[in-house]
A and B are shown apart, each in its own frame.
Chain A
Amino acid sequence: MLRLRLLGALTAEIDGRPVTMPSSERARALIGWLALHPGCHARNTVAARLWPDAPQAAARASLRTSVWAVRQAWGPAADVIVSSRLEIGIPAGRMWVDVLDDTAAAGDEALLPGIDDEWADEARAAHVERRRQSLAEAAAEAEKDGRWDDAVRFARERCRLDPLDETAHRALLDRLTAAGDKAGAVRAARDFTEVLRSELGVRPAPATRAAHARLRTGTTADRRPALFGRGPQLQRLTSVWRTAADGAGQVVVLSGEAGIGKTSLLAEAVHRVSTGGGRTAVAAGTGAVGETPFALWLELARQLVATVVPPPRGAGWPVELSRLSPELGARLGHPEAPPAVTAPELERLRVFESVLRLVEWSCVDRPALIAVDDAHRADRVSLRLTAHVGRRLTQLPLLLVVARRDRPARPELDAVLADLAGRSVPVTEIHLGPVSDAEVAAIAASLLVDDTAAPVDDAVVRKVITAAEGNPLLAVESARVLAAGGAGPPPNLRTAVRATCGLLPADAQTLINLLAAAGRPLASAELDGLGMPGLGLAEEAASADGLLVRRDGRLGFRHELLREAVYADLPNPAPLHDRIAVALDHRDRAEVAHHLSLAGRDEQAAGEWAAAAAYARSVGALTEAAEFLTRAVDRTPGAGDLWLELEEIRAWLGQHAEMEVAWERALALLDPADIAPVWCRRGRQLRTVVCHPEASLRAYRRAEAFLTDASSAATRADVLIGLAWGEAVAGDPAAADDLLAAAEAFLPPQPDPEVRADIVEIRMQGLIRQGRFAESAAIAEAAGPDAARRGLPGRAYALWLNAACALACAGDYDGALAFADRAVATTEPVPVLLLGSLAARAHILARLERHTEAADTTRRQRSLAERLDSPALAATAAHDAGLVALAAGDHAEAAARLGEALDARAAVSRPSAGLFRAEALALAGDARAAAAQLRAAMLEPVGRADQPWALVPRIAWVQGLIARVRDDRVLARRRFEEAAAGWRSMLDAVSEITAEGYTAALVDLGRPPVAGLVEPRRELERVENAMTSWR
């Protein structure tokens, strides 16, 4: 292998042995040319390049002479040169050349010194350009990694290559300042100005003068911009931070018009908190590109997870955090996937709870500041989560800052802020109004001053003041235009931005246009994905002019208004969106879909919208899932599978009319061979989402009718299991077992644990419906531990809870309590399931007359419901607390809690809850209120789960209590006898009553009815005791 060094002195070695260079200058030039142009070339071409002024024949003769000189000097080593009558060259595989190797081409040595040919000059220029590019990229990489010393070193080398390169010089200033060497930056600025003056007799360009000015004012491209005129606001913010850091969490709302300085003020606050030892996390809403649910809080979570200490091993919340993104749990030492949950609302609650736990954990070792910038552009569910966190920060050393524009209106954000203020969370509003003329003048002066120390022209400053109207962003952009030599301030921001962009090199303009289309700052990997060879130089140019900044490793516009202005000027953004779609982090499918849509790639966009919908569904953001799927089907209306997905989402949202429309569309589009599984899916939805047993049974029967010889075993099993459920719950429960046995014949030897648990539950339901309560509980005894062991807490919970209720139906309350306790233990890590377990436990304890424990349990239930921030769960908890209080004889408390539940529309039997409240009021001695409540209960809609036949004697009982309060003995006795007669008539049918009531409550109210079990014998005893005690 021939190794040639062309930088510095021309030297060669072959196989590690140095070879002598020919003494002839032309021979050395020949070597240089062949080295720079690997491969064979026509002799005429080589001769013309080396002897451009000679006739062809003479040049060829000179070439032969030079080749002879090389062979003489190199001896056998010259065999690397391939030579024929027509061609000459050195194949690339036979030589290594230093200047063509990036790792060896560093350094300032000249290329081929002493060779003055035109081709050598071109090669030297290209080498320098490559070096400059390489140094720019190396400096950028070092900067990104925070290696400031290396970044400065590379920047200095680049300036040495071309001392007059203003872009390189500005980049050096930025890096010196970032490295903390402000003095070095000032010296470099002064030296550069002198070089330009002495060598060219000119001043630095306006952009360079602006950079020099920023040195004096402390403002640089990627650091905190200087604050002008925000002293009082900063002081207030700092004061609130101190209060929060002491352990009394606070919320601050920063508001003001666009460009008024909210982000700058926030950046200063974050800097002070960070340098003072606090933990910070900042994320901004991104509008249309940020529709992905939880996009904003995902970014906040990433930042928090990167800095917190690992949580304890047994903590369950890190796994739940992975619902947002798997990386979160993994970074906290929990890479396992979270358990599946069927109900989207439960998904959302689990995400909320896990993020809240992360925030709390973030405050354990130091106070924290979490900021939501551009909150008016945040995604909907992130705003809800912000409210959830905000409601619970008063006991934490946490400052939550929400920055927003006054316009456009964002009702969801207004509702969040109003809710926080209404819940006694300390909220401080800091409104940023226009800055004063003096402050605008200071902004202008900082940008207009140059190194000549000449005073700034007052007339120019006045122009800036007039144009800015107190808005700092407008002041900056106007001053920049004037500093760059504009005749006057631009009439508007868009004109100012257009003027600035017009001065940029082509690559920088391309970069700016791409970032404008992107809609948000891009991370380094995404920037690389744009495929721009001159990215580093383009970034420098655009950043130098103040349009772009890097924050937290992402490159974006200094202000959203600048981005909007650039985007508005784009004549055809579609190709840009196409490039962005390719470059983006593809984990955010909604964002990719957004860009593909704007690029006109509808079919691809549809696929991405569908994937985005799947993610939204997985985190319980059903409204977003429906929106995304609607966009997908709008673009691909023939995709039957998407219509099916949309149908299920509509079902979860309770939009039954829309659900049916989607269903009909899907049915019309799907392959007939797929109809049986589709009807199966429909049946499953009607079992789980909508809970309409009769309709589910009909759907499964349709599926059965569509089965063919080609139908899979899995589908056949699915149909049979579905039919079994329908029969167990709404048909012939005795038929369920046969159906399950038939289904098991189509299942693999080790069926999916979920399927196995499903079968167990159906068997239990069938037995319950037949009044075989103890047998039902025995099944749970056998299968529950297996479900818990397999990481199916939801299934285990269902089994334990149904077993508890079944034994309650059988009158075995001690056995019921044992199952309820198991349910509580299994669901401790899953708060949404724990609620149901606590409810069952509380009612069973009340039934066992262990009233103090029952009350403690409902208190815990209510506290948990409040923490989960679910009004529906809180209302149900209030209902349960009311019934427990009634059983304990605390009538006032019972009336209050039941009233709370009724007002909040708790998902319980309203007529029954109303009657219980009337009973409590009567027992508390308030006959008038009891009568009014009784009347209200009568006017409630009545459904199957309300067990209206059982309400008749209860109405009479309450009427009797009211009459007793009014001391109307005759009427009271009559009513009590009426009630007693009603309960007596049911004694023979107790088992059927209980079984049907159980199923009705489970179907219509969604939870086992331990609170709503009708016990005619017990009710009769109560009435007879009342009659006896009142004689």
Chain B
Amino acid sequence: MPTFTLTARAEAPVEEVWKLLHDPARFPEWWAGIETVATAGDGRYTMWPTGYPDFPMAQQLRADAPDGRVTISCLVSDLVFRWRLRADDEATDIDVEVEIPDREAHRLPDQRRQLELSLATLTALAARIS
């Protein structure tokens, strides 16, 4: 299964980055490609990709690893995003590992570009609101 990992640093406390990662309602503010999100209030949410207002994609935010990673799994395309945060005083180091199913391997370059953009937006947003 193809994977890739990206790293970034946010000049913001880990609490701010944590909130943004765990609040699906705010994904459109930083996650490139997500236009709209509707939450069910219990970790489940539905997102509409940019340019596809009629194509809802159910998602599941699940944080279930003992090493502090946050796993966000897309229930439609089976892409899995695993985020790990490390506090460095008032800054935060962010790692994200992405797993792409074999049938979606052709999307890897696009996904990588999109996530690079998302990371940059995330770190800027976290710094702005902290």
Q: Which residues of A contact B (CB under 8 A)?
A: 934-935, 938-944, 946-949, 951-952, 955-956, 959, 982, 985-986, 988-990, 992-993, 996-997, 1016
Contacts and interface: CB of A to CB of B under 8 A. Distances in A.
Contact of A992 (B41, B68, B87): B41
A1015 to B, nearest CB: 12
Given A949-B23, A955-B15, A989-B40, A944 B87 contact: no
Given A939-B68, A942-B22, 7 more contacts: A934-B15, A935-B15, A939-B14, A941-B66, A948-B43, A952-B23, A955-B18
Interface in B45-101: 61-68, 70, 85, 87
Nearest to A945: B64
B34 interface: no
B19 interface: yes
A943 B69 CA distance: 10
A993 B42 contact: yes
B39 interface: yes
Contacts of B66: 941
Instruction: Specify which of B39, B63, B85 lies most central, judged by the most chain A CB atoms within 10 Å of its CB.
Output: B63
Nearest to A946: B63
Contact of A989 (B13, B42, B64): B42
Given A935-B14, A939-B87, A946-B63, A952 B40 contact: no
Contacts of A940: 68
A680 B40 CA distance: 34
10 closest A-B pairs by beta carbon, nearest first, are: A989-B41, A942-B63, A996-B42, A986-B41, A948-B22, A993-B41, A952-B23, A941-B66, A938-B18, A952-B19
A989 B42 CA distance: 8
B25 interface: yes
Contacts of A989: 39-42
A949 B61 contact: yes
A958 to B, nearest CB: 9
A934 B85 CA distance: 15
A938 B87 contact: yes
Contacts of A986: 41
Given A952-B19, A985-B25, A997 B42 contact: yes
Interface residues of B, number: 25
Interface string B5-26: 0000000011100110011110
Given A938-B87, A949-B39, A985-B39, A955 B64 contact: no
Interface of B: 13-15, 18-19, 22-25, 39-43, 61-68, 70, 85, 87
Contacts of A985: 25, 39, 41
A392 to B, nearest CB: 36
A55 B117 CA distance: 131
A710 B42 CA distance: 44
Given A941-B67, A943-B64, A949 B15 contact: no
Contacts of A982: 23
B36 to A, nearest CB: 14
A585 to B, nearest CB: 47
Nearest to A959: B15
13 contacts: A935-B87, A938-B15, A938-B18, A939-B85, A942-B70, A943-B63, A948-B43, A948-B61, A949-B22, A949-B39, A949-B42, A952-B19, A982-B23
A949 B25 CA distance: 10
A618 B32 CA distance: 57
A188 to B, nearest CB: 78
Contact of A949 (B41, B65, B67, B85): B41
Contact of B64 (A938, A944, A959): A944
A896 B70 CA distance: 30
A1016 B39 CA distance: 14
Instruction: Specify which of B14, B23, B87 lies most central, judged by the most chain A CB atoms within 10 Å of its CB.
Output: B23
Contacts of A996: 42-43
Contacts of A955: 15, 18-19
Contacts of A935: 13-15, 87
A944 B71 CA distance: 11
A992 B40 CA distance: 8
Contacts of B43: 944, 947-949, 996
A989 B66 CA distance: 28
A49 B113 CA distance: 120
Nearest to B92: A938
A744 B84 CA distance: 48
A983 to B, nearest CB: 10
A541 B68 CA distance: 72
Nearest to B26: A952
A989 B44 CA distance: 11
B44 to A, nearest CB: 8
Contacts of A1016: 41
Given A938-B14, A955-B19, A985-B25, A992 B63 contact: no
Contacts of B61: 948-949
Nearest to A974: B129
B11 to A, nearest CB: 16
Contacts of A934: 15
Instruction: Specify which of B15, B25, B41, B65 lies most central, judged by the most chain A CB atoms within 10 Å of its CB.
Output: B41
Nearest to A1016: B41
A410 B130 CA distance: 56
Instruction: Specify which of A935, A944, A952, A956 lies most central, judged by the most chain B CB atoms within 10 Å of its CB.
Output: A952
A257 B114 CA distance: 74
Contacts of B39: 949, 985, 989
A1016 B61 CA distance: 19
A940 B66 CA distance: 9
